[in-house]
Structures are given as structure tokens and as C-alpha cells.
Amino acid sequence: MKQIKVSLKDIDPNGQTFQWDDQLIWSEPLLEFNLSCKIHEKITAEVFVLPEKEGCFFRGKIRGKVSQSCDRCTEETISSISADFDEFEACPQQILDDEEDIEELEDENRVIIVENGVTLIDFSALLWEEFILTLPTKPLCTKLCKGVCPQCGKNLNEGLCACEDEDKDPRMNVLRNLKIQ
């Protein structure tokens, strides 16, 4: 995963804004985690960081467009990414003072980490977490997507398949004979 780490002591104590338009921030982990999602239109991110006594406040936004497969018919589907977030992340030292335990904490996907005694902000972890939260889990090409026929696999948005007429399921006959009053 593309790493963007900034030492906490290099952050302006009054707050500082960072901007990124490097697509590797997204394309690398998308590949790494084998997600069927591609960048369709440049993804940009902006984060304002305000160091506090026990951690940092982050206010940020992520914008762009991704292409995924429709959850019903698998056709390519474009979704807008629009994440706005306000987060407080605690410094690991505030949680635990024991060095061993700090190492354990680093295994979790934390935003503020300690490496060789230096406290770092891992922006890549923050951005990826927010990106994943906003990514559609069941993208649809249209809200009315009819999906594919479970029997022949035809994309039903392109028209009906032959299966419907040949459906001999007796339970369906009951429904067919019902008249809507």
C-alpha cells in the first residue's frame, strides 16, 4: 500500500491542510485487496489536521468516481465517491505506556503510529479507511436494474428471455391465476 506518513512534530500546531491527487493511494490497495473496483475519474483527497494534547483531529473529504460491477447484472457501473469526515484519533502513547503494547497496537490499522520512537500520522491508513466506508457495497447500474435470469443468465435489462414462458413451477400457476381486483 502506498505509504503517506508525516511526523507529528512536523505538523503546524495551529493545524495544517494536506491535499493529495496521487492515484496510487487508491489503486495500490484496490489491487492488493483484490477489490473489483477501478478508478474512473481522478480521486482527490484533502485533510485538515489539528494536533491536540492526546491525539489529532482530522477533517477531510474525498472526491472522485469509481467503476464497479453492478450487483445484479454485472454491467459496469459508475459511482461518485463523496466522503466527508470528522475524526479524532488518539496517540498510541495515550492509550498505553508500555512499549510492548504499543507494538501490538501498531498491528491494528491505526492512524497515529509510533515507529522507532517517532510518532507518525499514517494518512494512507486514514484515507483508505474513509474511502472503503464510502464505497458502495452493492452498486447498481440503475435502481430498477432487473438483473440476470437465474436460469439462462441473460441480462434482463436487455429484454425478457425465453425461460419465463417455459416456467412450469406449479407454485407460479397459483400466482398466475390470481386476478388483481
DSSP for 4-45 reads -EEEGGGS-TT-EEEEE--THHHHHHHHHTT-SEEEEEEEEE
Q: Which residues contribute to the site for Zn ion (CB under 5 A)?
A: 70, 72-73, 141, 145, 149, 151-152, 161, 163
Least distance between Zn ion and beta carbon 82 (Å)? 21
Cβ-based nearer residue to Zn ion, 133 or 162: 162
Least distance between Zn ion and beta carbon 163 (Å)? 3
Cell of 10: 512536523
Least distance between Zn ion and beta carbon 75 (Å)? 5
Cβ-based nearer residue to Zn ion, 94 or 142: 142
Least distance between Zn ion and beta carbon 44 (Å)? 28
Cβ-based nearer residue to Zn ion, 13 or 150: 150
Cβ-based nearer residue to Zn ion, 68 or 124: 68
Alpha-carbon gap, residue 18 to 47, rounded angstroms: 5
Backbone angles phi, psi at 150, to 5 degrees: -65, -20
Ordered alpha helix ranges (H), the chain: 24-32, 92-95, 99-107, 123-134, 163-166, 170-177
